[in-house]
Each structure stands twice: as structure tokens, then as C-alpha cells.
Structure 1
Amino acid sequence: MGSNLFYFNVLVLVFVVSCINQVWSQGVFDVKAFGAAFLNAWKQACRSGGTVLVADGTYLVNTIQFSGPCKGGVTFTVNAVIVAPKGKSTANYWISFHGITGLNIQGNGTFDGKGPSAWPYNNCHDASSCQPLSPTLVLTNVYQALVHNIRLVDSKGFQMKIEEGENVTINNITIKAPADSPNTDGIHTGNIKYVNILNSNIGTGDDCISIGPGTTNITITRVNCGPGHGISIGSIGLRSTDQNVKGVKVQSCKMRSTQNGVRIKTYTSPYQVSVSDVTFQDIIMDKAQNPIIIDQKYCGGSKRCKALFSTLQGTSNVQVKDVKFIGVRGTSSSEIAVNLDCSSSKPCQGIELDNINLSLASGGKATSSCSNARVSSSGTQNPPPCQNRMPLM
């Protein structure tokens, strides 16, 4: 009996210790318990694989980076308002997550970048050189990550940047900034693979989503965009280090009163890189200014761009190929609803138009324009597809 009781007590002790360890490993570290010292709470969660909790109230947070590696997956739960300092900032980020495997950013809270206090200092459009204003949320070298349910408003620069990682999902988030806010791209990706963006509402002063160099295997589904510049691949070709973009699928999205609908933009530059294996499918346009556009003479209007590439006379060495536009429908606010303006030195190859139905919002007929593009079409074609216009070889 005594022996059995001894073993029973040992088993209970082992069970209790196991439970304690499990609770600790899944511990919740409320920043309030650390005097609102976010980094201290993060370090504890990172050591044990727990949760940082930001709840109840408003928190003013200066530039901060949460770094790994961590012992296990870490959850960052925001059920409050996190506010950036007012004024100009050109740091590489306001809030950064770096070097983490297994990251979950969640909650019903808001990241407020206080952009109106910084936007008057943005001169990148006119200056020959400039430093962009700080993005709100930056994820670098992050793997197996999920960002969901949060809100980002009024970033100084880009709202969210995801770079140099793998397997990142963005689900059910809201991003807002005024239509005239400069360079406030909603989500920007670069040098990353296997990205999934879905079920989100994005309205900004720039691209709702910008797919940058080195992005491969990205899927964008059920995203409502507007205001903004649409969903864009690019800009590509600005730097000699730019990598190929491949495996892009944008499906079941809506563009409302956007400057562009679905777009590929490449610089008039000497750098040889490619954009390939792209599908835009089941996209609804509601008074989009340029519903379908490939722009290989992009320079962004910046003096810096024109100074760098002034000798190229409007040619791009970026190869755009194997691009499908399927089931794109709705209204265009400009007469040219389909504009394929490709490079004379690297003409677009394998462009497919399948069941396109775009009407001019103000009445009348929309048109198509093609230059240096090899295009095939099938199904409904409104406006009528333009004829292939290829350079003389």
C-alpha cells in the first residue's frame, strides 16, 4: 500500500511538473506586467514559446524590433491601439519582426502610424534622391507566419513589408490610408516565396499590394482594393540586384475607383530580369482608371529615375511573359481599358486575354492599346483586342 502510494505521488508530481512546464511554454506575457516594456515581454515569450499580450488601452511605442530565433512559436496579440510617435521618421521600420520561425500576429487591435504628421515631408516623387518614410510593420527573415484580423491605419510609409522569408499568410486584415497619402502601399513583398494574402480590405494612397522583385509563388484571393493604385507587380528593374518574379495568382478580387486595376510595371532600365507565370482571374473593376495595364516605360515620375536611365530612350530589359487575364469584368473610368505597353527590346510574350468584359463607365465604348506585345484572345472580348504590334527584327 505504502509503495503504491509512493508511486502514485511520484506520478502526480510528474504530471504537475509537466503541466507547469506546459503552461510556462504556452505562457501569456502581458506587457502591463512589464511596465509596458514591450521588449521585456517579448524576450520572455521568445525564450519559452509563449504569447505577448497587448490589451486594454493605447500604447505609444517608439521604433522597435522583435528578434529571434525563439525557442518555439510566438504569438503577438494586439487587442489595443499601438501608436507611433508623430513627425518624420526615415528608419527602416516602426515595428519589426526579424529572424523568427512560427510567428502569429493577431487580435482586434490597431497599429496607428500617425502618417498625417509625416506625409508633408515626403518628397520622393520630385527629389533626385530621397529616403522613404518608415513603414509601419516589417517582417524580415520570418518563416511559417500568420498575420490576421489586425488593422493598420495611416502609415508614414508602406503599411506592411514582408521580405526574405517563406510561408507567410495574411488573412482578414484591414488597411486604411487616404487616397492622397504618398507611398502608403498596403502590403509589399520582396525576395520571398510562398505568400498567401486573402479576405482583406485595403485602401491606400498607393498600391494596395505591390509585388516586388524576388517574389515567387504568391496567391492573392478575395481582396477588396480601393482607394489606391490597384494590385501591382513591380516596380521591377530599378536595381541590378533585382530578382525574377514568378508564380503570381490574383483571383476573386475587386478594384473600386482605383488608379489601376491589375498592373505590371517595369523600369526603363538596362537590368535583365523577368516576370513570368502570372494569372489575374475573376477580377471585378468598378470605375478603375486602367483596369488592365502592362507598363514597361515606368519611371514613376521621379527625377531620380529619369537621371539614372536618361540614356535608355524608354526601353526596358525586363522580360514579361506568360501572363493570363481571365474573367476580368466591370467598368473603366478611362477609354483605354486594356493597355499593353511593352518593351521594344524585350517584347511581351505569351499574353492571354480570356473572357474580358470592360465597359466605359461614362458610356460609349472602351478600347484596347498594344505595343510590342504578342497577344492571344478567346471568349468574350470587350473591348475588342488590339492587334499584335511587334517591333521589326
Structure 2
Amino acid sequence: MANARRLVAKANNANVGSLILMALVFGSCVANGEYLGGRRGLAANSGNPTVFDITKFGAKGDGSTNSFKAFLNTWIQVCDSPVPATLLVPKGEFLAGPVIFAGPCKSKITVEVQGTIIATTSGYATPEWFLFERVDDVLLTGTGTFHGKGEDVWKEDGCGKKVQCNLPPTSLKFRNMKNVEITGISSVNAKAFHMFLVKTDNVNIHNIKLIAPAESPNTDGIHLSNADNVSILDSTIATGDDCVSVGRGSNNVTVERVICGPGHGLSVGSLGKYKNEEDVSGIHVKNCTMIETDNGLRIKTWGGSGPSKATDIHFEDIIMQNVKNPIIIDQNYGSRGGDSQVAISDVLFKNVRGTTISKDVVQIMCSKSLPCKGVNVVNVNLNFVGKSGGKSASGSGDGLVGALCDNANVIFGGKLSFPMCNK
């Protein structure tokens, strides 16, 4: 406690770089159950939520004063409240460097954002802007916006499909958490991922907007890693990368009524990039709309991967508008050689309709040493609206629109608007 107070005193005369490093210290204090002194928010009434306004702890909504310390001091009071409490970001523009909201906390917490939170452009010692960690029963809500200022760093990014790459900070990361709801908020121009769920259980995301230009690199809307029981509903995701990407060890994920595009589509993977990856199962995508995405419904795994499984993956009732690569399984993703050892099985693409700019509507390109099993393509009606005379992925230039199957026994059914695979 005494050490933390001394650091706060020093921070008053510190430069921005020092203040950013202080965020890690404060997060550590909270994680160990300590809290800083200072003004408390509104007095708590027994059984009623307590509201703590960040402006009461020194935050300035002028868009230029770094208020990260006010966020942290406010969080400490909220986390220490014995009754349900709210951290309030009122109307205004609040500049903030990296912020760690760490627990465990004493009661249910609401973070309500009414204004705009603007990210500093440099000085990040960790790969996230706002980190929620080891705190359960959290509601993040409001009509406000997290503005990541990614436009200031995108031109320096060159990650692409590199095996080793340091991404810019994620805007909102949730780690080691249970029972989380995220609703209403917007995220604009994240430096990299807009949202990242890692080692979470029971997360409900709905009615949010994630926005970045089509050319922005690595701006995945929502990325999952070791995330179980996740629902992503009734949201708009228009970014420069995957709208939703389901990574290693994620199970029981539902994506429904999401409008996706621009971006790289709705993806399972990439899988198999790292050693000893956990299995993926129960990924169900339904009633979504894809608008001018670079890919539609995709499963991607790295060549030369270690063994794991990806099973029970269903895409149903999907509308596509001018989508490239509408249906694709790619087990040679990335620049690494060798066969993928990710075993893909029980995959369904059903009731997909709209338009495509690709000649090959379906591309099922599986591992030579571990072919895909149980891939079903049912009722796919996509009209080709691309340029005539171009070549398909098979090298054909005759304008044929169809399916490619490699190392997979694909079962086709229902009404199809394209020729089926020959093998």
C-alpha cells in the first residue's frame, strides 16, 4: 500500500512513458487485493449498485489529458465494493494509455461507457490497451466508443501470415474470466484485434459494432482462444481481417445474426500454428450476412502442425453479397511446409445463397496425410457476378463455376448452383 502511494506521488511529475509503465504496477496492486487511497465515488446503499464516475477521480474529457490513472483509481474502488458497483465513463472524450482492470473483485461489476475513450498512439509495454483479467461477473455496456487510433500504426505493420510477429495492442482483451456480457458499445480503428477472449467461460456478446477500414491489417473483430460457451449475436463487424476468428481450444461457440464485411469473413482458425494446441468443437454459425468479404465461411489450419481436432463445425442460413471464396477449407494456410495434423470432421455448409465473385464456389483443400471426414455441402445457391474470362483456382479459364475437393470425400445434397467435385 505504502509503495503504491509513493508511486502515485512520483507519477504526478512523470512523463507519459512512465505513466504507462505505472499501469502495470496498479494492475498488480489490484490483483493482490490492495487499493489506493483517495476519494471514493457515490456512497453505497445496501443492496443497490454504487456508481463511480471516472471524472470524480481526475479524468478529463478533453481528449488530450491522459486519464489512465483515473481509470485505475476508479476501478480499485469498484472492485473493492461489497455490493454491485458501476464504473461510469460519462459523455466526453477521454484519452487513456494502457489500462489493466484486474481482480478478483468482491461483487458484480458494470462498466458503462457513454463517451469516447481514445487510445494513446505509443508506449505500450503489453499487447493490449484495455485488459480485463481474473474478474468474474462483468457487464461492459453503454452507447460509447473505444477508439484505438489504429490509423497511426497500421502503415508500420507487416505481419501477414508470418509465424513470428508482434502485433500492435488489442483494444479489449478479456483473460481468465467467467460470466461476461458485452453489449451496446462500439470499437473503432483498433490497432490490431478489436476484442480478444482468452481462457474465458460463458461470454455473451450482442448488439455491438466493430469498425475499421477494409485495408487495415490484422484488425480481427473478435478472436477466441481457449474460450468456451461464447455467444456473438446481433452485431455489425466491418474490419480489415476476420470478423470472427475461432482459435485453439475454443468450444461451444454460437455466432448468429452478425453482419460481416468488409473483412476476411467468418473463420475457424487459423489452427495448428503452435505446439500442443487444444481441440476445437461445437462452432455453430447461423443467420449471418457476408458483404464483399475476401472469404466467406472458412476453416484454416497451418501446414506442418502438431496433432489436434476440429469437429462439429456448422454454417447454416447464410446470405452472401459479392463474396470471394465463399466456402473454403484450407489446410495449407501460412508459409510453413508439411502436412497439417489438424483432424477436421463433421462439417456442414447449409442454405447459403446470394452472389460470389469467385469461379470456385466451394474449395475443400484438406491435409494429404489426414483427409477431412464428414464434410457436407447442402443447398448452396450462389450466382457468379465476377469478371468473365478469369481463371478459377483450378486454372480453368472457361468461366466454369464449381467445386474443388482435395483429400476429402465431400457429400453434396439439395439444390446446388454449381458442378460438384469429381473426387
Q: TM-score, normalised by structure 2?
A: 0.82
Please say if residues 108 and 150 of structure 1, whose CA atoms lie closer than 8 Å, have aligned partners that are also in contact: yes
Alignment partner, residue 102 of structure 1: 137
Query: Structure 1 residues 127 and 345, CA, compared in 2 at 3 Å: closer, same or farther?
Result: closer
Alpha-carbon shift at residue 72 of structure 1 (Å):
1.1
Q: 1:291 aligns with which of 311, 322, 326?
A: 326
* 2:184 is the alignment partner of 1:160: no
Q: 1:137 aligns with which of 137, 162, 172?
A: 172
Alpha-carbon shift at residue 91 of structure 1 (Å):
2.5
Give the counterpart letter for 1:182 in structure 2: P
Pairing of 1:1-393 with structure 2 (within 5 A): 20-23=45-48, 26-36=49-59, 37-48=70-81, 49-87=84-122, 89=124, 91-125=126-160, 129-299=164-334, 306=335, 309-310=336-337, 312=338, 315-362=339-386, 366-388=401-423
Instruction: Give the distance between the partners of 1:351 and 1:259, measured in 2 at CA.
Output: 22
Alpha-carbon shift at residue 126 of structure 1 (Å):
7.7
Alpha-carbon shift at residue 127 of structure 1 (Å):
6.2
SS for the counterpart of 2:45 is helix
SS for the counterpart of 1:120 is helix
**Post-superposition CA distance 1:98-123 (Å, at most 9, x none):** 11110000000000000011112212
Runs (5+) with no aligned partner, structure 1: 1-18, 300-305, 389-393
Alpha-carbon shift at residue 241 of structure 1 (Å):
2.8
Please say if residues 99 and 142 of structure 1, whose CA atoms lie closer than 8 Å, have aligned partners that are also in contact: yes
Instruction: Give the distance between the partners of 1:284 and 1:162, measured in 2 at CA.
Output: 27
Alpha-carbon shift at residue 165 of structure 1 (Å):
1.1
Please say if residues 274 and 305 of structure 2, whose CA atoms lie closer than 8 Å, have aligned partners that are also in contact: no
**Post-superposition CA distance 1:192-229 (Å, at most 9, x none):** 10000000000111101100011100000000001000
Instruction: Give the distance between the partners of 2:300 and 2:197, measured in 1 at CA.
Output: 20
Query: Structure 1 residues 127 and 270, CA, compared in 2 at 3 Å: closer, same or farther?
Result: closer
Give the counterpart letter for 1:147 in structure 2: I
Query: Structure 1 residues 214 and 126, CA, compared in 2 at 3 Å: closer, same or farther?
Result: closer
**Post-superposition CA distance 1:215-266 (Å, at most 9, x none):** 1000000000010000000000011131111000000001100000000000
Please, what is the CA RMSD of the aligned residues? 1.5
SS for the counterpart of 1:137 is strand
Please say if residues 358 and 366 of structure 1, whose CA atoms lie closer than 8 Å, have aligned partners that are also in contact: no
Alpha-carbon shift at residue 124 of structure 1 (Å):
1.5
Alpha-carbon shift at residue 173 of structure 1 (Å):
0.3
Instruction: Give the distance between the partners of 2:111 and 2:371, measured in 1 at CA.
Output: 46
SS for the counterpart of 2:293 is coil
Query: Structure 1 residues 179 and 341, CA, compared in 2 at 3 Å: closer, same or farther?
Result: same
Alpha-carbon shift at residue 365 of structure 1 (Å):
5.2
Please say if residues 64 and 94 of structure 1, whose CA atoms lie closer than 8 Å, have aligned partners that are also in contact: yes
Instruction: Give the distance between the partners of 1:201 and 1:126, measured in 2 at CA.
Output: 25
Please say if residues 90 and 132 of structure 1, whose CA atoms lie closer than 8 Å, have aligned partners that are also in contact: no
Instruction: Give the distance between the partners of 2:152 and 2:169, measured in 1 at CA.
Output: 12
Alpha-carbon shift at residue 40 of structure 1 (Å):
1.4
Instruction: Give the distance between the partners of 1:298 and 1:291, measured in 2 at CA.
Output: 16
SS for the counterpart of 2:137 is strand
**Post-superposition CA distance 1:319-371 (Å, at most 9, x none):** 11100011011111110111101110110100011111112113765211110
Alpha-carbon shift at residue 180 of structure 1 (Å):
0.5
SS for the counterpart of 2:79 is helix
Instruction: Give the distance between the partners of 1:96 and 1:85, measured in 2 at CA.
Output: 15
Runs (5+) with no aligned partner, structure 2: 1-43, 60-69, 389-398
Please say if residues 89 and 118 of structure 1, whose CA atoms lie closer than 8 Å, have aligned partners that are also in contact: no
- The number of aligned residues is 357
SS for the counterpart of 2:136 is strand
Give the counterpart letter for 1:218 in structure 2: V
Instruction: Give the distance between the partners of 2:309 and 2:417, measured in 1 at CA.
Output: 29
Give the counterpart letter for 1:354 in structure 2: V
SS for the counterpart of 1:46 is helix
Instruction: Give the distance between the partners of 2:138 and 2:227, measured in 1 at CA.
Output: 16
Aligned-residue sequence identity (percent) comes to: 41
Give the counterpart letter for 1:221 in structure 2: E
Query: Structure 1 residues 233 and 203, CA, compared in 2 at 3 Å: closer, same or farther?
Result: same
Give the counterpart letter for 2:422 in structure 1: Q
Q: Which has the larger radius of gyration?
A: 1
Give the counterpart letter for 1:29 in structure 2: F
Please say if residues 65 and 98 of structure 1, whose CA atoms lie closer than 8 Å, have aligned partners that are also in contact: yes
Give the counterpart letter for 2:170 in structure 1: P
